[in-house]
């Protein structure tokens, strides 16, 4: 692998493992703003049901599904104003690639998501359990360890 770019290495690692390959396809596509007029049947990219750790500011949540254009997640918070539609939220998604024959590597996606909507699913002693839809207007940064 010496002399190869990080994109070439990511692609090789991801091609060897189906889930990681699908994950790579999500982050490798050029990400453009999609209009709110798009209905479920007209989604610009495939959604994958993946439960990954996601950090938003100092909050930790879990993804419900993810696509090249956004993520649907669950988080517990007392601060509903942070998740007002249109708000920009810095995010970090962490996962591990595990490809047979290759060493496991940590993958970190970093960027910004814009709140499309949120729903309060439950009220707990720690705050409101929200389901939040974020849209990616810019490409996410990919860091591998």
The CATH number for 124's domain is 2.40.10
Under the banding of pLDDT at 50, 70 and 90, the label for residue 101 is confident
- Has residue 81 got a pLDDT over 70? yes
Weakest-pLDDT range from 1-10, 29-38, 72-81, 128-137 = 29-38
Confirm whether 84 is domain-assigned.
yes
The total number of structural domains in the chain stands at: 1
Confirm whether 71 is domain-assigned.
yes
Confirm whether 1 is domain-assigned.
no
- What are the φ and ψ backbone dihedral angles of 125, each rounded to 5 degrees? -65, -25
CA-wise closest residue to 50 among 78, 20, 76: 20
Task: Give the Å distances, CA to CA, from 81 to 45, 117, 125.
Answer: 29, 12, 18
Distance (Å, whole) CA 33 – CA 13: 28
- Has residue 43 got a pLDDT over 80? no
Under the banding of pLDDT at 50, 70 and 90, the label for residue 1 is very low
Distance (Å, whole) CA 98 – CA 61: 22
Residues spanned by the domain of 105 = 6-144
Q: What is the pLDDT of residue 3?
A: 57
- What are the φ and ψ backbone dihedral angles of 110, each rounded to 5 degrees? -130, 145
**CB half-sphere exposure, 100, CA atoms < 13 A:** 2
- Has residue 19 got a pLDDT over 80? no
Q: What is the pLDDT of residue 134?
A: 97
Query: Are the C-beta atoms of 75 and 58 separated by less than 8 Å?
Result: no
Q: What is the pLDDT of residue 82?
A: 94
How far is it between the farthest Cα atoms of the chain?
52
């Amino acid at each position: 692998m010496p002399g190869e770019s990080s994109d070439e290495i990511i692609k090789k690692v991801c091609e060897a493992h189906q889930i990681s390959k699908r994950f790579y396809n999500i982050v490798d596509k050029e990400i453009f703003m999609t209009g709110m007029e798009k209905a479920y049947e007209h989604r610009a990219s495939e959604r994958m049901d993946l439960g990954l750790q996601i950090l938003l500011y100092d909050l930790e949540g879990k993804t419900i599904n993810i696509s090249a254009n956004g993520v649907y997640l669950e988080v517990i918070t007392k601060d509903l104003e942070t998740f007002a539609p249109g708000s920009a939220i810095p995010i970090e998604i962490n996962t591990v690639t595990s490809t047979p024959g290759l060493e496991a590597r940590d993958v970190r996606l970093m960027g910004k998501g814009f709140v499309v909507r949120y729903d309060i699913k439950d009220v707990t002693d720690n705050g409101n359990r929200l389901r939040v839809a974020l849209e990616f207007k810019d490409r996410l940064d990919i860091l591998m360890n």
